[in-house]
Structure 1
Amino acid sequence: MSAGWAEPGCYPITEGVHRIPLQMPQDGLRAVNVYVLETDDGLVLIDGGWHRPDTYRELADALARIGRSAADIHDVFVTHIHRDHYTFAIELRRRHGCRIHLGADEADGLSAIHRLNSNVPDSSLRELRRAGASDIAQRAHAAGIAEPFEPDDWEQPDHWLRPGALAVAGLDLYAVATPGHTKGHMIFQDRDRRLVFTGDHVLPTITPSIGFELGPWDLPLDNFLRSLALLRHDDAQLMLPAHGPTGGSVGQRARELLAHHDRRFEQIAAVVGELGPCTGVAVARALTWTRRDRAFDSLDDFNQMIATCETMAHLDVLVARNVLSAKDADGVEHFERGDGWGHLAAK
């Protein structure tokens, strides 16, 4: 991913729409794009950013370039519950009273954050243990405990969103449910200008992580693929993602991501076929990761966690399709060929 897109500033997309990259601490994604839409009543933000000590100054400096201020923001529409999208929206509301809108199916995830009262990725730890990666789970738990947690960053939104038209003066905005990356992920379409704010559902150069959220598992990859299929023929709208450069057809990128996961299913099934009964982490270690085809052991602890959870998400779909079968042994699942082996095209 080119680093140029993450440079601070306020970048025009079209008349009345601007992109502001807000920095992210110690994160390979570098920044999160928030989008500023001019309305009859002031400004709307798509996504809020990560609440850091410098985030308010970054946003204020960017808005000043178009003669506006953070006080002009009256609504923030958040694509999903992850902290790089949600937590700074809370700070903006605290300072200026803007309204926050979040997908209704994120309610369980937000409640889980309140129950845990920490940054411990509890559901991911569950999946790591199920994958036979208790060592990675122990390290992830320790890292989560050590990381500062601010309960005030996780207040309730003003409005739980459902799919459909959004009441924003002067704009033709629609919310579309795209579960997968998280259960309540939404994208927002500006139909007049043929723009789609894709959040983390469709990213231009990387594949969105799957299964990194709190709550029940519920086949997140299957949900993600169904959500991608909704967009696969949408070649008319311009893609405005939360991470990475803007532009390109959202339909084309959706097709590329669907093809990527089809290849990944084939790779994972081949690994299980070669290894015989094996754990999820054994499969993850046999694969390569990122666009650079890095070995699993070369990844840091966080990305080993993500890689293992994504492998489990693929394995679970293959079990649901009867391509593989799974047997539990003391809380660890072992995967092997299923009755439907050889029929990977079955959806």
Structure 2
Amino acid sequence: MRPLDDGSRDWMEPGIYSVAPGVYRVPLPMPGNGLRAVNAYVLADGDSLTLIDSGWALDDAEVRLESALAAIGASPSDIRRFLITHVHRDHYSLAVAMRREHGTPVALGSGERAALAAVSQPGRVPLADQLPLLGKAGAAPVVDALVAAFGSLPPQDWSLWERPDHWLTPGEIRTPGGRHLDVVHTPGHTAGHVVFDDSAEGLLFTGDHVLPHITPSVGLHAAPGPLPLRDYLASLRLLLSRPDRRVLPAHGPVSPSVHARVEELLCHHERRFDEIADLVAGGAHTAYDVARRLRWTRRERTLGDLDPFHQALAVLEVAAHLDVLAAREELLATDDAEGGREPVRRFTLA
């Protein structure tokens, strides 16, 4: 194996791809048939390597990473630091596993403290924070389907949610090889998500904040805040106020302009706000009711066409939009607890 020019193949094809001088993209596998791959980025400065995001703690992912590093004459023991964009398993867990073997320090945004404390509780139920939110969204059938699916999940290794060695705060940092990066706090996808700006090379390592083909979810927070979508949109606008960069995303190919993609994402969400407000005006008063009337993915699927996990994501996305519309005072939200059941949040035109 040798480094390939990035863009020459499908972005998920295994290998190591040259992005810029001393910067390489390594797609690593993920379980399941959803996103399928996650990009780790290798910053090579002399004999020192820094990895931005690490991948999922899978044996296959570690083997592929080791093979990719060998193509540039390096090995995992040459990694001096992991810089992690956010505390999701496909970004964080392989770094923790490799730290146990090589002692490599791991750095994570300080805004992820509460989420990490929540997910590291042994025996925690999958989607523990999302189940009550789905109930409030009126999505009892989705909750039932998820709970039934939990029984088929493999046991989780809770120990992979160890604390990082360093908590990152906004501002400039230097990699062990001397490269300057600006840490930018971009909450929304998670509360402590950060991106890394390499101004010298004109690169932005965007994690899941800006993705080239899909809109990142805002419903998978552990210890969620009140308005994650509002945070996400503000974080997008923050990037518009900064110099444009090439997008180095966690899922998908490298693309030429952060600003262009951010404009597309902002337009998408404004269209979604309009669609959702029209459906509320037409009589859909809960997030679940609205989600059943919308179309999902580029294939224009109905909610019922999706598996339970993606149904949950869809309903939570709608709930996030409804909450922002209520915060804007375009909709009125009321919590209705009929017959002693848990309250369901209903929306009407303000």
Cα deviation, residue 153, structure 1? 1.0
Note if contact 2:191-2:224 (Cα within 8 Å) is conserved in structure 1: no
Aligned residues: 336
State which of 243, 253, 258 in structure 1 corresponds to 2:251.
Answer: 243
Deviation, structure 1 residue 144: 3.8
Shift of 1:77: 0.4
- Flag the 1:194–1:119 CA change in 2: closer, same or farther, 3 A: farther
2:35 aligned with 1:19: no
Bigger CA drift: 246-255 or 37-46?
Answer: 37-46
SS of 1:264's equivalent in the other structure is: helix
Q: 1:194 aligns with which of 196, 202, 209?
A: 202
The equivalent of 1:34 in structure 2 is: 40
SS in 2 for 1:122: coil
Deviates more, 1:102-111 or 1:114-123: 114-123
Residues 215-294 of structure 1: pairs in structure 2 closer than 5 A:
215-232=223-240, 234=242, 236-275=244-283, 278-294=285-301
TM-score by length of 1: 0.93
Counterpart of 1:329?
336
Please show how residues 1-347 of structure 1 align to structure 2 within 5 Å: 4-40=10-46, 42-115=48-121, 117-118=123-124, 120-144=126-150, 146-147=152-153, 148-168=155-175, 169-232=177-240, 234=242, 236-275=244-283, 278-330=285-337, 331-338=343-350
Distance 1:116 1:268, change over 3 A: farther
Q: CA separation of 1:24/1:317 partners in 2, compared to 1, >3 Å: closer, same or farther? A: same
Change beyond 3 A, Cα 1:233–1:165: closer
Counterpart contact for 1:24–1:31, Cα < 8 Å: yes
Look up the equivalent residue of 1:335 and give its one-letter code: F
Would the alpha carbon gap of residues 76 and 119 (structure 1) be closer, same or farther in structure 2, given more than 3 Å must change?
A: farther
Does the 8 Å contact 2:184/2:195 carry over to 1? yes
Structure 1 portions without partners, runs of 5+: 339-347
C-alpha separation in 2, matches of 1:105 and 1:144: 28
Which has the higher mean CA deviation after the structures are superposed, 142-151 or 6-15?
142-151
Aligned to 1:343: none
User: For residues 302 and 322 of structure 1, do their structure 2 counterparts lie closer, same or farther at Cα, with a shift above 3 Å needed?
Assistant: same
C-alpha contact (below 8 Å) 2:23/2:42 kept by paired residues: yes
Change (3 A) 1:249 1:36: same
SS at match of 2:25: strand
Residue type matched to 1:134 in 2?
Answer: A
Deviates more, 1:142-151 or 1:315-324: 142-151
Structure 2 unaligned runs (5+)? 1-7, 338-342
Secondary structure of 2:32's aligned partner? coil
Q: Which residue of 2 aligns with 1:342?
A: none
**Stretches (4+) displaced over 6 A:** none
- SS at 1:59 equivalent: helix
Q: Tell me: CA distance 1:283–1:263, structure 2 relative to 1, closer, same or farther (3 Å).
A: same
In structure 2, how many angstroms separate the alpha carbons of the residues matched to 1:174 and 1:117?
A: 37
Whole-Å Cα distance in 1 between the matches of residues 147 and 37 of structure 2? 25
Measured at CA, do residues 112 and 145 of structure 1 come closer, stay the same or move farther in structure 2, by a change above 3 Å? farther
2:191–2:225 Cα contact (<8 Å) kept: no
Secondary structure (helix, strand or coil) at the match of 1:294 reads coil
Q: Alpha-carbon deviations, 1:235-284, whole Å to 9, x = none? A: 631110000010220011001100000000000000000015x2110000
Q: Which residue of 1 aligns with 2:340?
A: none
Shift of 1:27: 3.5
Deviation larger for 133-142 or 305-314: 133-142
Deviations along 1:178-236, one digit per CA (max 9) or x if unpaired, are: 00000000000111111000000000011001121111332000000000001125563
Q: Helix, strand or coil for the counterpart of 1:187?
A: strand
Q: Structure 1 residue 145: deviation in Å?
A: 5.3
Q: What is the CA distance between 1:167 and its match in structure 2? A: 2.8
Alignment-mate amino acid for residue 34 of structure 2: G
RMSD: 1.6
Q: Which whole-Å CA distance do the structure 2 matches of 1:216 and 1:49 have between them?
A: 23
Change (3 A) 1:132 1:251: same
